[in-house]
């Protein structure tokens, strides 16, 4: 029987058929079908609009000699990159990037934000260091954002090799309808590196 009619069979179906008895049916009223559909939709979760905004301000104490660094931002399958600064271990960028998503919140908040500083040469490029954290770690911060924080770069293959430098950045994560507050401006006292470590996951 087609499910679109939302029928339920009652009684001993196989026994009734052998005896040639009519099969009794009960039709679910439309209002009950609507309530059932609503419950199913709620259990599956709703698709929502989210935005991750990242400002890459600068980098400091990058390891290496005669490097041309750029910062690559990866969130899931999306990737964006700053300009390349030539011959410096302390590049200044002040470049702003926005990533838009339409997803279930459970899936979105598990997304990993990854910052990687690359030495970008036409014939020879390599990773200087990287940093990552998940969207939920940012979202649960006051104002759903980190402002003027220094992300500590490490070797993604072997973190025991030590710090590879720092990237100063602003990271905000917002859902549609969130009231975002402007972050505090950097001060001279902010020059001391405030290490933004990979925070815990959702919990």
**What's this model's pTM, rounded to 2 decimal places?**
0.70
Tokens representing 96 are 């702003």
The residues facing 133 across adjacent strands are: 113
Is pLDDT at 144 greater than 80 in this prediction?
yes
pLDDT in tens, 29-73: 566 566 655 554 554 578 999 999 999 999 999 999 999 999 999
Tell me the pLDDT tens digit for each residue of 67-93.
999 999 999 999 999 999 999 999 999
Higher pLDDT, 137 or 184: 137
Residue pLDDT, tens place only, 92-103 = 999 999 999 999
Model pLDDT, residue 159: 80
- Position 186 pLDDT exceeds 70: no
155 HSE (CA, 13 A, CB side): 8
Is pLDDT above 50 for 182? yes
| Per-residue confidence band for 177, with pLDDT thresholds at 50, 70 and 90 | confident
Provide the CATH topology of domain 47-196: Immunoglobulin-like (2.60.40)
List the domain boundaries for the chain. Answer: 3-44, 47-196
Strands (E), the chain: 7-9, 25-27, 47-60, 69-75, 78-81, 92-104, 112-119, 126-134, 145-154, 163-175, 195-196
> Quick one: pLDDT at residue 14?
44
- 11-33 average pLDDT score: 51
What the block records as the tokens of 132 is: 């990552």
């Amino acid at each position: 029987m087609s499910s679109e009619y939302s029928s339920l069979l009652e009684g001993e179906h196989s026994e009734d058929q052998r005896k040639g008895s009519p099969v009794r049916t009960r039709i679910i009223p439309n209002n009950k079908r609507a309530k059932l559909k609503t419950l199913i939709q709620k259990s599956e979760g709703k698709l929502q609009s989210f935005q991750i905004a990242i400002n890459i301000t600068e980098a400091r104490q990058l390891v290496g000699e005669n490097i041309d660094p750029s910062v690559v931002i990866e969130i899931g399958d999306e990737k964006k990159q700053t300009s390349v600064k030539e011959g410096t271990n302390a590049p200044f960028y002040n470049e702003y990037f926005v990533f838009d998503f339409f997803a279930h919140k459970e899936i979105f908040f598990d997304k990993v934000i990854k910052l990687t500083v690359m030495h970008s040469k036409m014939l020879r490029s390599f990773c200087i260091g990287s940093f990552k954290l998940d969207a939920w770690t940012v979202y649960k911060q006051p104002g759903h954002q980190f402002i003027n924080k220094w992300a500590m770069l490490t070797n993604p293959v072997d973190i025991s090799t030590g710090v590879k430098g720092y990237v100063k950045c602003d990271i905000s994560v917002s859902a549609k309808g969130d009231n975002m507050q402007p972050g505090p401006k950097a001060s001279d006292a902010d020059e001391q590196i405030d290490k933004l470590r990979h925070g815990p996951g959702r919990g």
